[in-house]
A = this chain, B = another copy of it.
Amino acid sequence: MGEKVLLRGNEVIAEAAIRAGCQCYFAYPITPQAELLEHMAVNMPRLGRTFVQAESELGAINMVYGAASVGVRTMTSSSSPGISLKQEGISYLAGSSLPAVIVNVVRGGPGLGDIAPSQCDYFQATKGGGHGDYHMIVLGPSTVPEAGTLTMLAFDLADKYRTPVMILADGMLGQMMEPVDLPDPIDVASLPKKAWATTGAKGRDPNIILSFDLDPEVLKRMNLELQRRYREIEKNEVRYEEVETGDADIVIAAYGTTARIAKTVIRMARAEGIKLGLFRPITLWPFPYAPLKKLSERVSTVLTVEMSAGQMWEDVRLAVAERAETPFYGEMGGVVPTPRGILREVKKYAH
């Protein structure tokens, strides 16, 4: 398309999904992702594709399970409490090796919380909020344009590894507008056929979608296959960004909206002579442990900044393993850290 347009993050995710060939979208309304639903309500029927406002988040994720079984690209979106309701369904998707995209426009929690931006669902997304040994690929966009490109990528990764993929956004990213170059729509017909999909047992043996076997030895084998795929994803798909880390003494570890704010902090800090850099994981699962480990060997401090009580912080500490200081600065409940607030923290570790 080439043409720059000013759009909300929610709309960009929706539009990118459409351009990635999403055929079926199912969701239940919730703030702050209402515009995503609305964009789909307007545009999916127009394109002859499926939009269903489900009776609940449980309904929606299980409709996704159905559509994914049949082999079409499919998506659902929600925000924190709604995502909690999808946990059983996500575990089933993972267990049944079904590709699907799930968007969480995170808000303040726990419980009903509020509708302001937050990053307090990182654990749920990356460690597995559902039951069982599974992982989703979790992508953490930092700007509105990146929300678009990562959504396109999400569909590709989902298909490639037969796995659910989550876009972990937040209320700010969903609500804000920013100029964006919308990616070109893919050619749906050119996507590889899914031989495993339950499209009707015509001229072949039946295909079965399932996440269970009552024989533990068989279920173990199914789990080993999942784990094999997770190791492959860890090998191939780790994505991250480093900003001004070359000479950095202090590095901020942050993702998503917080990372974006941190970029302003770098400018402010460098203006004051503090050698500050940024390590930004783009894949939150698989987490970029190795590059952060490497980086931690040559900095004094890795300051984790999150809109949470310290969740990604655990992964940072796992990577750093006490090689550097690993302090934490977090805001909670929908409060967004300000550049000045972060700078104040940075200064505590600058010498």
Contacts and interface: CB of A to CB of B under 8 A. Distances in A.
A210 B112 contact: yes
Contacts of A84: 87-88, 91, 129-131
Interface string A113-142: 111101011011001111111100000000
Contacts of A92: 81, 110-112
Contact of A223 (B85, B87, B134, B309): B309
A223 B332 contact: yes
A222 interface: yes
B123 A214 contact: no
Contact of A120 (B58, B121, B131, B221): B131
Contact of A134 (B110, B130, B227, B335): B110
Interface string A53-96: 00000100000000000000000000011011101100111111
A311 interface: yes
A96 B111 CA distance: 7
Given A111-B95, A211-B113, A216-B116, A85 B83 contact: no
**In this complex, which of A131, A221, A334 has the most chain B Cβ atoms within 10 angstroms of its Cβ?**
A131
Contact of A124 (B83, B85, B129): B129
A113 B132 contact: yes
Given A80-B132, A108-B219, A109-B132, A212 B114 contact: yes
A321 interface: yes
**In this complex, which of A85, A114, A123 has the most chain B Cβ atoms within 10 angstroms of its Cβ?**
A123
Contacts of A215: 114
A111 B91 CA distance: 5
Nearest to A217: B335
A175 to B, nearest CB: 14
A19 interface: no
A187 interface: no
Given A94-B111, A222-B333, A127 B127 contact: yes
B111 A331 contact: no
Interface residues of A, number: 68
Nearest to A224: B332
A314 B334 CA distance: 28
B91 A133 contact: no
Contact of A220 (B93, B133, B335): B335
Contacts of A335: 216-217, 219-220
A213 interface: yes
A318 interface: yes
Contacts of A309: 133, 223, 227
A116 B218 CA distance: 12
Contacts of A257: none
Nearest to A127: B123
A325 to B, nearest CB: 13
Interface of A: 58, 80-81, 83-85, 87-88, 91-96, 106, 108-116, 118, 120-121, 123-124, 127-134, 210-224, 226-227, 308-309, 311, 314, 317-318, 321-322, 331-336
11 contacts: A81-B92, A87-B124, A87-B129, A87-B130, A91-B109, A95-B109, A95-B113, A120-B131, A129-B130, A129-B131, A318-B318
